[in-house]
Amino acid sequence: MDYTNYIIEKLKKLTAINSPSGFTKEVSEHVVNTLTEMGYSPVLTTKGGVICDLGGKDESSALLMTAHVDTLGGMVKEIKSNGRLRISPIGGLQAQNTEAENCTIVGRFGGTFSGTLQMDSASVHVNKEYSTQDRTFDTMEIVIDEDVKSKEDTQKLGINVGDYVCFDPKTTITPNGYIKSRFLDDKLSVAILLGYAKYLKDEKIIPDRKVYIHITVYEEVGHGGASSIPNCVTEILGVDMGCVGDYLECDEKKVSICAKDSHGPSNYEVTTALIKTAKDNNIDYAVDVYPFYGSDADVALNAGHDIKHCLIGPGVYASHGYERSHKLGVKNTFELIKDYIN
């Protein structure tokens, strides 16, 4: 059975749930419910992530696969005198590619409000410096879709400093298989791991070694994979986005195997085994070195865990922007996980 369509449907549900780092309760509960319906017994960590034992015979060399469901976003840092909002980015959100994007402001004690991130003076017919003005979060504002003219007007709505701002994902699947959305990093890989969990149940497969998945919720701010790793785990496989860009071999239709990222090289034996698995099973893959990248696998090692590690994922173009992958990249990543564990 091809699980790609199931994975795409799970992706749509995941991207429809707002979940910037620190605001992930709803999406974590969705993951828990999905795994529970399959027949697993997932556990919510204290931090808010999800750990799930997928089964397996040998507990002496368990594998943990990690993917993160938290995303980029914003937080209100100032209510301006005109009633509009300045935001502070959460994770690597970029002002340049969120201009004119729709968003939702979530009141801490109730109420959600739509808005748009715009330049401070957003009309070309008024602002002659529009084309040359710097795009930063200090020169841009959230225009709320409410009749507000002052700071007090906005506060009366229930909007305050510290409230989350969630940007629309704009998830689109094209007829020829391209997947376009914000937050494919890393909800696409979360969906892939859910697809793998379903595969094990459907086919009544018990892996030779114990396998866990860990869906983390603070990866975008640097500490998602630092904790909650079972003691029997000896290997961690980060399942995150594969980089696509200049000087890299990967594209959206391949699974990327990361030999080295900005933290250092992946474990040589694990990387070699993954490459051999891809070769032996005719999986379309690329091996790359990522210049500006860190994953939950790195965080786990930095936290002191004595484990082997590597990073894989479907090729994703325009990372931390309006991202693009392809169904074939999903399929190749799923197949690599399945065949590597088998």
Q: CA-CA distance, 129 to 156, in Å (whole number)? A: 33
**Is 219 marked active-site?**
yes
Using an 8 Å Cβ cutoff, are 276 and 300 in contact? no
CA dist 12 to 27, 77, 220, Å?
Answer: 12, 30, 20
Q: What share of the chain is helix, strand, coil (3-state, %, to 5)?
A: 25, 30, 40
In the set 141, 219, 252, 323, the catalytic residue is 219
- Exposed, middle or buried, 164 (CB in 10 Å: 0-12/13-18/19+)? buried
DSSP labels, 294-332: --HHHHHHHTT---EEEEEEEEEBSTTSSEEEEHHHHHH
Tokens of 196: 């793998």
Contact partners, residue 40, CB within 8 Å, separation at least 6: 52, 53, 54, 197, 201
Catalytic residues: 219
